[in-house]
Copies of this chain bind each other. A is one copy, B any other.
Amino acid sequence: MPSSISSASNPRIREIKALRMRKTREQSGLCYVEGIRVVGEAIQAGAVVETLVVAPRRLTSEFALGLVADAVERKVPMLEVTTDVFRSLSDRDGPQGLAAVVRQRWSEIDEITPAPGERWLALDAIGDPGNLGTILRTCDASGAAGVILLGPSTDPYDPAAVRAGMGAVFSTVIARTTFSHLRAWASRRGAALVGSSASGAVDYREAQYGDPCVLLLGNEREGLSSEERDACDVLVRIPMLGRSSSLNVGVAAGLLLYEVLRHREDPAQA
């Protein structure tokens, strides 16, 4: 292993720092992820790790040392840095000494054919990376087939999204397209489009979701547009009993994803 990089202005370190910017992530197709758990998740999900970044002095956990040993065996390029340099790359307190430059993976919507039983989730212009990460984590947990990002969405490879999702971004099928393309795609593929809206006609617990189905949620501020609502096969509503007029989009996605799961497991309940 080469000697540790000790200068935060080392060109390689500057390249990695530039991955904080979305533009650099998009151009390179890479992202920078940090923390033992998330790096482990990326590796276990089969993501392509371009470089493992290690601050040996910080790295004591057995699990982390195992990950590093495996990576060495598989000839993953390794970048050893001093604790100070590692911290300069980090956006957390008490960094754990393990990070990675990982290749992004995007699926092409036109190469996806929803199978019977599958639930997909489409998000229009979701703005907050923490919300998106949370939703990816819920998609994984509820057995959803994948996520389709519409319009000017936040980046699922934003460090805050990766962190909130606990690395679920690496095991989730993610595509991006426009709403009109999604609409045509769902129609051609025979997938039902189920929107969520305060003005939905059906209580989400009593809806017929169609199979396969694509759940559609609007962005944090505006919800679905009238064009989107009109295009849905079903428009469901989550009961709101208090003063709030809406739920956090991550909570709404969780309720809908688990509701469709319930209907799939026990169609009689629908």
Contacts and interface: CB of A to CB of B under 8 A. Distances in A.
Interface of A: 41, 44-45, 130, 134, 137-143, 164, 166, 168, 171, 205, 238-244, 246-248, 250-251, 253-255, 258, 261-262, 269
A137 to B, nearest CB: 5
A168 B254 contact: no
A43 to B, nearest CB: 12
B244 A140 contact: yes
A45 B243 contact: yes
A121 B41 CA distance: 31
Contact of A137 (B44, B143, B168, B248): B248
A244 B137 contact: yes
Contacts of A258: 238, 255
Contacts of A261: 239, 241
A204 to B, nearest CB: 9
Given A142-B241, A241-B142, A137 B171 contact: no
Given A255-B255, A255-B258, A164 B248 contact: yes
Contact of A247 (B138, B239, B246, B247): B138
Nearest to A137: B244
